[in-house]
Structure formats: C-alpha cells, structure tokens
Chain A
Amino acid sequence: ETGVTQTPRHLVMGMTNKKSLKCEQHLGHNAMYWYKQSAKKPLELMFVYSLEERVENNSVPSRFSPECPNSSHLFLHLHTLQPEDSALYLCASSRASGRALGTQYFGPGTRLTVL
C-alpha cells in the first residue's frame, strides 16, 4: 500500500498547538482530497484540490487550513483545535476531480486526538 501515504499515523495535540498532517500520492493523479471520519459517522469531505487549486471547501472551520504545493503533496495545517476535532483524517487522490466514475485511492489516515 504505497500509492497514497500519510504522516504521521497518530497525533496527539493540545488545543493551543499548531501541527500539520502530510499526504503524498505516487499515482500521478491530479486531484487530492481531505476527509474526516468521526466515530460512527460517515466519511465527511473537507477539501478538494484539482491541479493544485482548491475547488471545494465544505464549510470547514478556519482552524483547518489546507495547502497543496504540487499535485503530489497535500497538507492540512491545524491550529487551536477543539476536542471535538478528534477523528481519523483520511487523504485520497484520483485522476481528476468531479468524475462520477473516478475511483478515489485512500491513504491509511492520521488518528488525531485533541486534548
């Protein structure tokens, strides 16, 4: 499983910390995604990037700040998070965004705990 990698796999942070999640895809895809999965809830789409441009932001609070410096890398910068932000954060990539048939390839996720 080396197509989409995420680091770190686990992160514990205080509410005043600043940290970043990193995602890298080795599949030559043009679209990248951040999802959040909270306990017993479905995957929630947070952000979509296509060719390094943000094309979707699903009403995500500004304490989550994405960055896509190139089509292979995606970051999620975190600051002043709340305990309810504790969740599994998944990154995914696909050949293009907005395609119904486009399979998304996922990373293993970062388990985030906010104390």
Chain B
Amino acid sequence: ILNVEQSPQSLHVQEGDSTNFTCSFPSSNFYALHWYRWETAKSPEALFVMTLNGDEKKKGRISATLNTKEGYSYLYIKGSQPEDSATYLCASYNTDKLIFGTGTRLQVFP
C-alpha cells in the first residue's frame, strides 16, 4: 500500500511569519511530486510539479524542495499573509498512480 503522509495536519501562524510543512512519499518507483493549494469552497489549484532529486521550485513567496532518495518534500511560505490560508495537498506519482496526502491546513491570522 502506497502512503503519502503530510505534517503537521494543521498550522496556525501570525501574519508575517514564515512557515514550512512536510510531505513524505514512497521513494520506490517514484516519478513526480505534485503540490496543490486548496482554499475552502474552491477548486484545488496546482502549485508545483517536481521530479528530480534536489529540485527546487518557487512561485512568489512559496517555494518547495524535493528529496527523492529519502522520500520527502518541503513547502515553504515566506512572510505568510491571510490570503495564504488554505489546505496544501501533496501527491506522489509512483508506478502508475497519483496518491494524495491528507493535506496541511494553514490558517494565517492578521
């Protein structure tokens, strides 16, 4: 059974704080790691797709790193804003399936 684990489950930070969370995935038969951002009552929105060990992607204040040998990815948010409040999902493509984690729910307070 392939499991993708995300931690923490939820996170509350103050506006301006930087934060990060983790996605752990199976390293065997790994092809790609996807990050999605999901605001309440909206559609999940793709953030990054990463494939290579050591990959680093950036989109504004959000960045992600990938370690395929040990099977983890970090998502970083610099200077969190209230509009960053959302659930951040990661999904690992292993063999022939995209397996999702349960997400990290981030709340940023003004």
Contact = CB atoms under 8 A, between A and B. Distances in A.
Contacts of B91: 43
Contact of B101 (A1, A4, A42, A98): A42
Interface in A17-67: 40-43, 45
Nearest to A90: B44
Q: Interface centre among B44, B101, B102, by most A CB within 10 Å?
A: B44
A42 B36 CA distance: 13
Contacts of A42: 4, 99-103
Given A40-B102, A42-B99, A98-B96, A103 B34 contact: yes
Contact of A100 (B32, B45, B101, B102): B32
Contacts, number: 43
Nearest to A35: B100
Given A100-B32, A100-B51, A101-B49, A4 B43 contact: yes
Contacts of B44: 90, 106
B42 A1 contact: yes
A105 interface: yes
Contacts of A45: 97-98
Interface in B19-71: 31-32, 34, 36, 41-46, 49, 51
Interface string A78-113: 000000000000100000001011011111110000
Nearest to A33: B98
B89 A103 contact: no
8 contacts: A1-B43, A42-B99, A98-B96, A101-B32, A101-B51, A104-B98, A106-B45, A108-B42
